Amino acid sequence: MMVVTPAQDIRDLANAYRDQGVDVHYHGLDCGPDVMITDAYRWMTELFGMHAIDWLLDEIR
């Protein structure tokens, strides 16, 4: 199941957590139609969350 959340909702949520003192790192993704046409690899990795693999590897190193 894939869930798409509007970007502004996520930014608002991250800001709400920050307002409560939580250290939040938000990295928005860009998987819009223009990226699909110009960079299909990036579009697929961001759309299906595969970009998180690099982030996780960096975190455990």
Residue 15 lies in a domain: no
Residue 38 lies in a domain: yes
Residue 40 lies in a domain: yes
Q: How many structural domains comprise the chain? A: 1
pTM recorded for the entire structure: 0.52
Residue 10 lies in a domain: no
pLDDT for res 24: 92
Residue 56 lies in a domain: yes
* pLDDT single digits (tens) 29-61: 766 778 778 888 877 777 777 767 777 778 887
Q: Which range marks the domain in which residue 36 is found?
A: 30-61
Q: Which residue type is seen at 11? A: R
Whether 1 shows a pLDDT value over 50: the answer reads no
* pLDDT single digits (tens) 3-15: 567 778 888 999 9
